[in-house]
Amino acid sequence: MKTKIGNKRTLFLGAFATVVFVWASINKFDVPAEEMARLALSCVVVVLFTMLLAALTVGLIVGVRHLLRRIGLFRDPQD
C-alpha cells in the first residue's frame, strides 16, 4: 500500500516541480512564453521520434529473429 502512495506522490512532485520551473523561468528570468512553448513542442517531438525509433528497432529485431527461425539458423533458448 505504501508503495502505490509513494509512486503517486513522486509523480505529483515531479510534475509540480516541472510546472514551477517553467513558471519561474517565464516570470523571474523573463523568458518569453513563446520560447517556452517552442521548447516544449521540441521536447515532445524528440520524445515521439525516440519512441518511433525504438518501435522500429524492436520490429526489426523481431522480424530478423522470425526470418532466422524460418530458415533454421536460430533457435529459442528454451528449446
Q: pLDDT (tens digit, 9 = 90+) per residue, 9-63?
A: 899 999 999 889 888 888 888 889 899 889 989 999 999 999 999 999 999 999 9
Do both 39 and 6 map to the same domain? no
Instruction: Give yes or no for residue 3 having a pLDDT over 70.
Output: no
- Identify whether residues 5 and 43 lie together within a single domain: no
Answer yes or no: do 23 and 5 share one domain. Answer: yes
Residues 1 and 23 both lie in one domain: yes
0.85 exceeded by pTM: no
For residue 23, which of 42, 9, 36 has the smallest C-alpha distance? 36
Joined together, the cell numbers standing for residue 67 give 526470418
The total number of structural domains that make up the chain: 2
Q: CB neighbours (10 Å) of residue 45?
A: 10
- Whether residue 59 sits in one domain with residue 48: yes
For residue 65, the enclosing domain spans: 32-79
Same domain, yes or no: 27 and 38: no
Going from the C-alpha of 79 to that of each of 21, 57, 65, 75, 76, the distances in angstroms are 53, 25, 15, 7, 6
